[in-house]
């Protein structure tokens, strides 16, 4: 019947209208379709100039693994994961966006981060031989922190990321059983001590799962993911890749 709403047509009309009136989050310019490395970003948040201008790491000079960079190797001793993939150093505008996602509930930033990560990840896997990913996880929050904040920003990013790449995601396999003090301002060994026995696996890791990708929003020493990796490796996982939006290295680091 003529008056029935064609939902697909309405959605297209709504999306097109939204895009035509959307302003770039950074420069205020008009946003149409923005893409990164040939991957169309599903967000009407950033114009093409600002997408091109984001402070990405140059993945090609580190062969897609930031752990191959000596300064990062030195800053991350005793880690139990094999690959580190970060979109950007901890710099504007990511600093502002990460705080807005974490503390102000700007949820539209999670699919934006995910889309930026997916584009760079796909470029990386096209260039370097990387083992197929069997499972995606995110760094869990302790239940008390989850209750206070109401959501886990790493989980939101991981959900979109795994969905876009059609990879299996398990939000429940790893739980945080210790509600740690903040890791901020702690040295590497203090962080490791603070995080000892902080995580547990609830359930079996299937025997075919050999390469696990763990998603976080910001990584400083890698200690958190390293602790989770130790547990996974006891359960038969061979390779762990840490994927994060930002990497911020501490100025001084004890061994």
Q: With CB under 5 A as the contact rule, which of the stretches 16-24, 160-168, 201-209, 238-246 interacts with Zn ion?
A: 16-24
- 158, 121 Cβ separation under 8 angstroms: no
Please tell me whether residue 139 binds Zn ion under the rule CB under 5 A: no
Residue 47 interacts with Zn ion (CB under 5 A): yes or no = yes
Q: 19, 29, 42, 237: which one contacts Zn ion (CB under 5 A)?
A: 29
Tell me which DSSP letter residue 141 carries. P
H-helix or E-strand containing 110? helix 109-127
117 contacts Zn ion (rule: CB under 5 A): no
Name which of 29 and 93 has its Cβ closer to Zn ion: 29
Non-local (6+) Cβ contacts of 214 within 8 A are 81, 136, 137, 138, 139, 225, 228, 229, 240, 241, 242, 243
The CB-of-175 to Zn ion minimum distance in angstroms stands at 40
Quote the least distance from Cβ 34 to Zn ion, whole Å. 9
Of 18, 23, 27, 99, the one binding Zn ion (CB under 5 A) is 27
Nearest to 254 by CA among 74, 20, 96, 53: 74
Q: Does 26 bind Zn ion (CB under 5 A)?
A: yes
Q: Is 24 in the site for Zn ion (CB under 5 A)?
A: yes
Contact set with Zn ion (CB under 5 A): 24, 26-27, 29, 47, 50
């Amino acid at each position: 019947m003529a008056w029935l709403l064609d939902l697909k047509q309405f959605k297209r009309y709504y999306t097109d209208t939204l895009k035509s009136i959307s302003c770039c989050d950074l420069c205020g310019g008009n946003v149409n379709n923005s893409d990164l490395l040939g991957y169309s970003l599903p967000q009407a948040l950033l114009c093409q100039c600002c997408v091109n201008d984001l402070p990405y790491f140059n993945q090609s000079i580190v062969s897609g693994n930031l752990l191959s960079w000596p300064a990062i190797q030195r800053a991350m001793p005793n880690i139990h994961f094999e690959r580190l993939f970060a979109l950007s150093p901890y710099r504007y505008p990511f600093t502002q966006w990460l705080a807005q996602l974490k503390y102000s509930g700007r949820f539209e930033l999670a699919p934006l981060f995910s889309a930026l990560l997916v584009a760079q990840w796909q470029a990386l896997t096209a260039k370097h031989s990387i083992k197929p990913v069997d499972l995606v996880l995110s760094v869990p929050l302790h239940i008390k922190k989850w209750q206070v904040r109401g959501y886990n920003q790493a989980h939101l990013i991981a959900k979109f990321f795994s969905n876009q790449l059609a990879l299996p995601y398990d939000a429940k396999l790893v739980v945080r059983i210790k509600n740690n003090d903040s890791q901020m301002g702690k040295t590497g060994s203090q962080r490791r001590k603070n995080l000892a026995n902080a995580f547990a696996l609830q359930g079996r890791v299937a025997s075919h799962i050999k390469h696990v990708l763990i998603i976080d929003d910001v990584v400083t020493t890698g200690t958190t993911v390293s602790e989770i990796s130790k547990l996974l490796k006891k359960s038969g996982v061979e390779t762990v890749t840490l994927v994060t939006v930002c990497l911020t290295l501490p100025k001084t680091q004890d061994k």
